[in-house]
Amino acid sequence: MVAQGHGLEALCFFLALTRDRIFGLIVQLNLPTPHDRPMRRGGARAWTQSDFPILLDGWLNNWSAACIADRLGRSRGSIYYQTRRLGLARRDRRLLHWPEPAVPEPVTPPKADTAKPRLPARWPVYGGDKVLELTSKRKGLQVDWLKNLEAYVDVGWRVWSGQRISVIAENYGVSYITIASAAYWLNAKGPSSHKDLVDHFDRALGEANAKARGGELRKSEVDGITPYWKVGDMFKSRRDKRNAKRRGLAF
């Protein structure tokens, strides 16, 4: 879908995922960052967000186009059009089938105590070349990166060095999405190939990789504090671009 030129809003719509989850997948799969332009809207027969999971599930599980069309109340031509639009791979016709309808399992109501896990007020970071600590905000719901900028930059060096996002998250005691989102806003670049990812952290290697790719550590114009790496012709940080967009500015 990224190769087809779909932007962040379209990916969130097609895959029914949050922007943070999309950012995490982009970092994990080492994909180019999609554009942030609004997606095109259809007419009265436009596909809804609930249609696309059925299309993707059916197509990837070798349901026949007629079966998918029947489930969605659309024509086979509409199914083929959307698969081309999304860039889905062609399938072996010999594997296509019409599955039996699944029997829905009874829905179990969520437990009353399934609250989102909260972070401690203060905790150490492991696996690095120096002693670092993190603190939380919003009653333990978020990492307070602005009060822990050294640790924030350390995330970037780890990504540049090729350390796996999952290992960084484990060392930092936070979720995968938290680290993937931080790497996105830092504009830190990992290896181009997954086989080059490692479990250990080598800061010197991270600095060398950043220098080789022209990465320059700067501060955001929004607050003059938040760090990011300028790479190539990137003149402003992602935070600066978002801030300008909210204010209706163009650059």
Whether residue 227 contacts residue 153, with contact meaning beta carbons closer than 8 Å, is answered with: yes
For 130-168, give the secondary structure using H, E and C: CCEEEEEECCCCEECHHHCHHHHHHHHHHHHHCECHHHH
pLDDT value for 251: 47
Closest C-alpha among 14, 88, 1, 87 to residue 52: 14
Question: Of the candidates 225, 217, 215, which has an alpha carbon nearest to the alpha carbon of residue 190?
Answer: 215
DSSP state for residue 121 in the 8-state scheme? S
Task: Identify the pLDDT of residue 43.
Answer: 64
Q: What is the DSSP letter of 118?
A: -
Q: Does residue 1 sit in helix, strand or coil?
A: coil
pLDDT (tens digit, 9 = 90+) per residue, 111-151?
A: 655 567 889 999 999 998 888 999 999 999 999 999 999 99
List CB contacts of 52: < 8 A, sequence separation 6 or more.
Answer: 13, 14, 15, 16, 82
Which regions in the chain score pLDDT beneath 70? 41-44, 101-105, 107, 109-115, 244-251
Residue 173 pLDDT:
94
Residue 17 — left, alpha, or beta (φ > 0 → left; ψ -120 to 50 → alpha)? Answer: beta
What does the pLDDT read at residue 15? 79
Q: In this structure, is the dihedral angle defined by the CA atoms of residues 222, 224, 227 and 230, taken in order, positive or negative?
A: positive
Structure pTM? 0.57
